[in-house]
Structure 1
Amino acid sequence: MSRKPPNILLIHCDQHRFDCVGANGHPLVQTPHLDRLAAEGVNFTHAFTPTAICSPARASLLTGTFPCQHGCIAIPGHEHYRPARGDLPKFPPLLAERGYRLGYVGRYHNEVEGDPTDFGFETFIANEQYGAWRAAQGLAPPPGGAFRDFFGVTDDHVAPEQTEIAWLADHVIDLLNGYAGSDDPFMLRWDTVEPHLPCVCPEPYASMYDPASIAPWPGFDDPLEGKPWIQAQQPRNWGVDGWDWARWAPTVAYYLGVISLLDAQVGRVLEALDRLDLAERTLVVYTADHGDLCGGHGMVDKHFVMYDDVQRVPLIARWPAGLEAGGTCEDMLIQEIDLASTFCDAAAAPVPSTFEGRSILRAARGEDTAPRADVFGEWSGGQFGLYSQRMVRDRRWKYVWNCTDVDELYDLETDPGEIRNLAGDPTHAEQLQRLRLRLVAWMEKLGDVKLNIWTRPLLEGRDVYS
């Protein structure tokens, strides 16, 4: 296995559920190119976002820190949005110092001040430029547009090769063509909007999946008993309260269709790597900022829940010259903040002491002699007000501290859909306290402002009720 620093291609999509990849066991979704990537690389099956919201998660990816550390806790347009701290090291400049050429194509979500050219990228092609290109081709704007049109919309005005994601893939391939003629390594980041709602796609993807053939998510039939009140309120906000699966299934069908459209464009980029003789020496990483409820627990989008629907993400890494093919890291708990350390490790760049993560390359090679026992997540407000949560999860148990509501405890072994909240069950008091104290220790280590003289007594020893 080569240890020469590789090229790096990060394919970072928005709102892709872990379980909506063929290689991860979905019985219907067609993702042959992601499946190929998994077969030729390493599939990390237990990878988690630090927070299920776009800008904060992306700031964590850049800085290798959690939102409570970097300070970006909401998306632009909300009163408590602010960009991540400018004094924190970010991985792109560290790669540039090692001679990497840096390119960025696609969605930028204002996670830090400025745009990608302000933190190391020499090329930035924003997805917002697609609208002008589409108009210049004489094509009508995409249908829908209202954020509540999340149910799925067919774009009859374009062929698949004229969609935004195909347009972005064109630019990715153009950059690869340019990089192929240089001896300098490159780091190319491709951020897609897909499969984030609203799910808009052309044929044949719009009708690729028959809603009647799609089974409910494991956590769909959730009465939300003994759970925070806001979880029952969320479906009312979206107007989907009381929907049965027959009403949800068409939305899921569109969601799967968009994922297959995304996969086809990933395939085009992988073919370009092959054609340009770049595949062998390029580390390709595919992941997402967070997952999607898409009807899970009867809810829409993500936010203020810590279910695996939104916390668990796909993560696949392929580097033929540096990683053995066909590996699956089922036992490793991975956080998306690990990617900043991973890219520095691959590039032989120094890893700043502020980075909280660890290189996934070492886990893939079996060199991580002290794997994580648990992972963490947080939420500090957003579209639905300052409702804050913190979460700790190991391979079997998940504990969620909701600052202003009931605690949550789930046995993921017996209840993978996370339907039964066991926090009020005295039988599991020992597990609850163990995870509570672990969460307190993590918050204390990070200097989380949510752990203070008022909340610490509540977190460490408040009465549990359901």
Structure 2
Amino acid sequence: MKPNCILWVFDSLRGDHISHTGYPRATTPTIDSLASEGVCFTNAFSQAFWTGPSAGSILTSLYPLNHRNGFLYKSNDSVESVAQSFTNLGYNTGCITTAAAINEDYYPEFDDYVCLYGNGSLSEAELAQRITSNAIDWIENNSEDPFFLIVWTDGTHHPYRVPNNHQRHFVEQDDFDPTVENLKNHHSKQQVINSYDENIRYNDSEFGKVIDYLKSNDIYDDTTIVVTSDHGELFEEHSRLEHINKYAESVVSRVLPDSLLLKTSISEESNWVGHQSVIPFDELLHIPLIFKFSRESDIENLGQNIPHLAQSIDIAPTLLDAHPDMKPESRFQGKSLRKSIENKEEVNQYVYSSTPLLMSPGIFHSIRDKHYKYIRLELKDITDMRKEFNSDKIKFLQNMFHYINSPKEILFDVDNGEVHNNIKHMNEKKLEFRRLFDQWEYKSEEYSFSMDSTTEEHLKDLGYLE
């Protein structure tokens, strides 16, 4: 019997805010329960720190500049998503999405789409309830045959709103309303984190209703479930200009009005909204990754936390390697994590990311092992600078200033925090990472800016654009 497969992606969910992995608050009881039955990779990292390129890597098992799907890329029509792999195996496939970056134009291989974005829907406190209802309805209508379902929820993305009838755990009923504007101008970091954690707890409880439905209808044991995120979020850990030329930072801090400095979090450690215009810190790339396998799976040694490095592109090959009658596609750049689970083998010595930033001609690459991270900043084609500038002048100028004054190479000792750039002091490690970068098949091809009206409205809804 072929197992059902569900891939549940919580947008912007940090890997270190999962209670199963040691976070002191009980934010994720449903996810914790799944992890106790399966496996949790505690050092999992995304391929980019915003949704467009990260989603492409999750869905295709390719690095961002290979799949080239997302807001900034010319679509690579030759790339197929993992949905096609399941279709070829006779599965019903569906995608329930609140993100404009996941749609039938980019990923046409799904049989069904339920698109819940647009018209301010991401600001609704009840968004997670709508996702739950649609997920249960879809499963009910498609569970006669094996199914593969992706649920992409922006419920955990800012603004961190919860319904009035949700039982509070970390915030009071009359705390501030965590709209994008309020989050940008709020002064209490802890209150922002409280709202974030409350929102996680609410979305976890809604996810739990889907799990309860699967159990009550005898579907749960026959279903492999993967829980992950596309990227994390910054709070008080870093500022936007933390590693630029200090003279330039001083000039900015003196010239720009206080209101703009606060709004853009440009020099203070208060970048708690969004995940743009910053270096690929671990807080942005570290994600949860949990597998609960169906009873048809022949993977052994479950019920463990695995500290080995894992990547978003490893999800699809692991799903297809978890059952005797399936196998990963040769086109995948990710690796099956089966050997890490069963034999405690290190499948990945390094993890990689490539993040093109909105409203800019630049891209951040990173290569990380367990102890060090190498970052390279590349400036790309500027043909579409005028269009980008007209779309969001403040963000474009902020990004251009950032790139002009940023170091082109950074080397972090992640064990001691991503604070000091060691590129001038650790020559042997620098040369090692440079060789790895030259060997990396990230396939840097020319890309161009492309944004339709629906995508633009979606980004405004999320607070990326003014």
TM-score bracket, normalised by the shorter chain, equals 0.7 to 0.9
Question: Of 190, 198, 202, which residue of structure 1 is paired with 2:151?
Answer: 190
The answer for the alignment partner of 1:253 in structure 2 is 194
The within-5 A match list for 1:175-214 is 175-180=138-143, 182=144, 184-203=145-164, 208-210=169-171
Amino acid at match of 1:301: G
Matching residue's letter, 1:423: I
d(CA) in 2 for partners of 1:447, 1:423: 24
Alignment of 1:256-267 (within 5 A): 256-267=197-208
Distance 1:107 1:11 in 2: 12
Partner SS state of residue 46, structure 1: strand
Decide whether the 8 Å contact of 1:61 with 1:336 is kept in 2.
Answer: yes
Partner of 2:95: 104
What secondary structure, in the 3-state scheme, does the structure 2 residue paired with 1:209 have? Answer: coil
- Compared CA separation, residues 393 and 271, structure 1 to 2 (3 A): same
Instruction: State the 1:204 CA deviation.
Output: 5.9
Q: Partner amino acid for 2:197?
A: L
The farther-off stretch of 13-22 and 106-115 is 106-115
User: Equivalent residue for 1:379?
Assistant: 355
- Cross-structure match for 1:345: 321
Specify which of 223, 230, 240 is matched with residue 289 of structure 1.
230
1:125 and 2:76 matched: no
Query: Partner of 1:325 in structure 2?
Result: 302
Residue type of the alignment partner of 1:420: H
What amino acid maps onto 1:343 in structure 2? Answer: L
Contact 1:205 1:258 in 2 (8 A): no
Q: Which residue of the partner structure matches residue 369 of structure 2?
A: 394
Of residues 13, 18, 29, the one that matches 1:16 is 13
User: Match of 1:151?
Assistant: none
Q: What's the CA shift for 1:23? A: 0.5
Q: 1:113 to 1:128 in 2, by over 3 A?
A: closer
- Structure 1 residues 399 and 253, CA, compared in 2 at 3 Å: closer, same or farther? same
C-alpha contact (below 8 Å) 2:8/2:228 kept by paired residues = yes
What value does the CA root-mean-square deviation take over the aligned residues?
Answer: 2.6
Contact 2:340 2:346 survives alignment (8 Å): no
Letter in 2 for 1:202: P
Aligned partners of 2:85 and 2:329 also within 8 Å: no
CA-to-aligned-CA distance 1:86-137 (integer Å, 9 cap, x gap): 1113211121111111122222433576265x21x222211138x7xxxxxx
Contact preservation (8 Å) 1:85, 1:112: no
Tell me the amino acid that sits aligned with residue 414 of structure 2: L
| Residues 110-149 of structure 1 aligned to structure 2 (within 5 Å) | 110-111=101-102, 114=105, 118-119=108-109, 121-128=110-117
2:443 counterpart (434, 440, 447): 447
Q: Match for residue 64 of structure 1?
A: 61
Distance 1:390 1:98 in 2: 35
Q: Deviations over 1:165-184 (max 9, x none)?
A: 1121112112222344x2x2
Q: Give the aligned partner of residue 411 of structure 1.
A: 413
**Which deviations, in whole Å up to 9, do the C-alpha atoms of 1:311-355 show, x marking residues without a partner?**
11001000152344311111x211101122223334644543321
- Contact between 2:229 and 2:287, CA under 8 Å: does it hold in 1? yes
Taking a change above 3 Å as real, the CA distance of residues 175 and 52 of structure 1, as seen in their structure-2 partners, is same
1:302 pairs, out of 251, 272, 275, with 275
Instruction: Return closer, same or farther for 1:254/1:437 CA change in 2, 3 Å cut-off.
Output: same
Give the structure 1 partner of residue 35 of structure 2: 38
Partner SS for 1:423: coil
Q: Judge conservation of contact 2:97–2:103 (CA < 8 Å) in 1.
A: no
Partner SS for 2:154: coil
Q: Does structure 1 conserve the Cα–Cα contact (< 8 Å) formed by 2:104 and 2:113? A: no
- CA shift at 1:62, angstroms? 1.8
Aligned partner of 1:327: which letter? Q
Report SS of the residue matched to 1:105: strand
The DSSP-based 3-state class of the residue aligned with 1:365 is helix
Q: 1:201 to 1:370 in 2, by over 3 A?
A: closer
Q: Partners in 2 of 1:266 and 1:386 — Cα distance? A: 38
- Aligned letter for 2:320? C
CA contact (8 A) 1:84 1:111 kept: no
Find the counterpart in structure 2 of residue 313 from structure 1: 287
CA distance in 2, matches of 1:105, 1:251: 28
**Shift of residue 294, structure 1, vs aligned partner:** 3.0
Aligned residues between the structures? 372
Could you tell me how far apart the structure 2 residues matched to 1:71 and 1:91 are? 15
SS of structure 1 residue aligned to 2:15: coil
Shift of 1:446: 3.3
Question: Which of 324, 332, 356 in structure 2 is aligned with 1:355?
Answer: 332
Q: Is the 8 A contact 1:177 1:276 kept in 2?
A: no
TM-score normalised by structure 2 residue count? 0.73
Distance 1:340 1:28 in 2: 30
How far the C-alpha of 1:278 sits from its partner, in A, is 1.5
- Say if 1:292 and 1:309, in contact at 8 Å, map to a contact too: yes
- Partner SS for 1:104: strand
Q: CA deviation at 1:448?
A: 2.3
The residue type paired with residue 412 of structure 1 is V
* TM-score normalized by the length of structure 1: 0.73
Partners of 1:172 and 1:340 in 2: CA distance = 20
The correspondence of residues 212-227 of structure 1 with structure 2, limited to 5 A, is none
Match of 2:217 in 1: 276
- Asked if the contact 1:12/1:287 (under 8 Å) is kept, the reply is yes
Whole-angstrom distance in 1 between the partners of 2:201 and 2:287: 17
